Structure 1
Amino acid sequence: MPPEQKESVSSASAPVTGYRLILPDDWAQIPLRHGTEEAVRHILDEAFSRIPPGSPEDKVGPYKRELERRFRAAVSRAQEGNALDLYLPARSEGSVNLGASIVVSETILPRRRGPAAQADPTDIAVQLLASRGPGNADLSSGELDGALAVRHEHTAPADPDRGAGLGSRRVEYIASVPDAPERWLAAVFSTVGGGDPRDELADALVEWFDAVMATLRWRRG
């Protein structure tokens, strides 16, 4: 289910083939199924090109290596979950900010027969969320572009073994893909805020992500 940033949604009767989100220009998209290396190289080259000419190599070399290491680690972690796309904010001066991210993935449930096939979609969404993270979190439901969606918010502790040196604020939307009961789209936002996942910056970024998710539209073939 590849993303689509500009193309309008076609006939509502056609099957869903993708999604689109409206994001600021300073957010970079990294596809995780195809074209990953090209996207990674482009973002890094753009970041490195912004380094002022004449900067001392003993400073520039370690900076470039560490930025690339951290950036590729973030991409690898997203790929571990078989995600579709990773979005990261790239500042106007070309550096890559790893303090926030959006990961979009698709879950396909096995087809069921009998009464279980008629399970309430909200129950299915909650079960999917329960399998991903803590149960003691904020949970609500609504719609995204006419499709059932469940919103799940919680704070995750630091996990240095996975490259997370700070705790993070996480918001996950799981939406039922229209006319395809076995398909679910998940968008997960994560931020460390200003170093505290409950600070004012984290609050503002969570509100921003909720606004971004309100722009989700299904792409139909």
Structure 2
Amino acid sequence: MPAEQREAAGHESAPATGYRLLLPSQWAHIPLRQGTEEAVEQVLQQTYARLPAGAPADKVGPYKQELARRFRESVATARERNALDLYLPVRPVGDEEFIPGASILVTETVLPAQKGDGPRTSPSEVAVQLLTEDSPAHADLSSGEVDGALAVRREHVAAATPDRGTLVASRRVEYIVSVPGDPNRWFVAAFSTIGGGDPRDELAEALVEWFDAVMATFRWRHR
């Protein structure tokens, strides 16, 4: 994705209408509200094109079918969560032809409008409540800003849940960010990785640092 510039100062107080992230070219963007099938098919075709030209057809066919099945299943699961966007690494990184096991899922939370004349809950209190409702006891919580908006960051290791199709533990980092101009809307970017097979290994640590750097490129879109 191309680098994005910060919005002009005159738009900073206007309601946000979207967002922009800077991601390396090895990552694919799958929009989940419209254009999903086109994006999925493009990723699959790019992946198929990297298969060895001389590979036997009786091996390639089943491989393509299984790859497509798993990929479409991941996208369908994301859509079931009413997510906005899914980002996945689909091309090798570096000289080792390595594709990390990771993903970024973008969702939106809309809270009911507060009624009455009672004291309003502050955005920081709302953010903490949203993140701590189901937070594990060992979750790491911190707060700050993302492009000028209040943000809370949560990091934890999620255990494997085979009954839900999750066969290995994963390292997860979530940013929940107050949407400018609309106090009832919250943007959520959730990163997940299995590292090198251990969510606490060096690869997982490096990928978490990478995701924090990606979130530093986050910018609101105001039109």
Identify whether the pair has TM-score above 0.5, normalized to the shorter chain. yes
Pair 1:193–1:52, CA change in 2 (3 A):
same
Shift of 1:92: 4.1
Pair 1:96–1:38, CA change in 2 (3 A):
farther
Match of 2:199 in 1: 197
AA of the residue aligned to 2:7: V
Match of 1:43 in 2: 43
Q: What is the CA deviation profile of residues 86-105 of structure 1, one whole-angstrom value per residue up to 9, with x for unaligned ones?
A: 00011149x99571000001
Pair 1:156-2:158 in alignment: yes
Pair 1:209–1:79, CA change in 2 (3 A):
same
Shift of 1:130: 2.6
Unaligned residue ranges in structure 2 (runs of 5+): none
- In 1, distance between residues paired with 2:81 and 2:102? 18
Pair 1:69–1:174, CA change in 2 (3 A):
same
Match of 1:24 in 2: 24
Q: What is the CA deviation profile of residues 185-214 of structure 1, one whole-angstrom value per residue up to 9, with x for unaligned ones?
A: 000000000000000000000011011111
TM-score, with length taken from structure 2:
0.90
- In 2, distance between residues paired with 1:96 and 1:77? 25
Shift of 1:175: 0.3
AA of the residue aligned to 1:9: E
**Structure 1 stretch 59-68 or stretch 137-146: which is displaced more?**
59-68
Q: Secondary structure at the match of 1:189?
A: strand
8 Å CA contact 1:88–1:96 kept in 2: the answer is no
Shift of 1:82: 0.5
AA of the residue aligned to 1:191: T
Shift of 1:25: 0.9
- Give me the identity figure in percent: 61
Match of 2:74 in 1: 74
- In 2, distance between residues paired with 1:175 and 1:57? 48
Pair 1:85–1:175, CA change in 2 (3 A):
same
- In 1, distance between residues paired with 2:212 and 2:4? 20
Match of 2:90 in 1: 90
Task: Report how many aligned residue pairs link the two structures.
Answer: 218
Q: What is the CA deviation profile of residues 136-163 of structure 1, one whole-angstrom value per residue up to 9, with x for unaligned ones?
A: 3100000001100000011001122333
